Amino acid sequence: MLESPWRAVITGGLLAVILVSGYLLSRAGKPYGALLFNVHKLIALGAVVFLVLTLLKLNRVEALGATAFAAALVAGALFLILIVTGGIISAAKAAPGFVSLLHRIAPYFAVIAAAATLFLLRGRP
């Protein structure tokens, strides 16, 4: 099991790659570059899988507290929204405005919720 600082460093690194590749994608516009798009999409999925596995392991060692559990649920819901809206934006010719807006705003709340979750679980082996 990764020590607490490494969980935060890895999550922060993955989120940084996702955010930077996202900004580059929206700046360049459609059609999206395959490399950038795949980096954005796959690292996003990788980050979600990493967080879910980390939380499952932590929960097995000692049940998550109610606050950490709530923060994890919020983060999970936001990541789900990002995956769905990201899929719609990339599949649709022109995605509805609210879908693009959601994909623009949700990342900041997802970063905060993920950081809060890991912070609440800091110091756990």
**Contact set with ligand HEM (CB under 6 A):** 18-19, 22-23, 25-26, 29, 32, 40-41, 44, 47, 79, 82-83, 86-87, 89-90, 100, 103-104, 107, 110
107 preceded by cis ω (within 30°)?
no
Q: Please choose, from the candidates 110, 94, 114, 112, the residue with its C-alpha nearest in 3D space to the C-alpha of residue 102.
A: 110
- Taking the complex as a whole, the smallest distance from the CB of residue 34 to ligand HEM amounts, in Å, to 12
- Taking the complex as a whole, the smallest distance from the CB of residue 95 to ligand HEM amounts, in Å, to 8
The nearer residue to ligand HEM, 64 or 89, going by C-beta atoms, is 89
Q: Which residues, at least 6 apart from 18, have a Cβ–Cβ distance to it below 8 Å?
A: 40, 43, 44, 47, 107
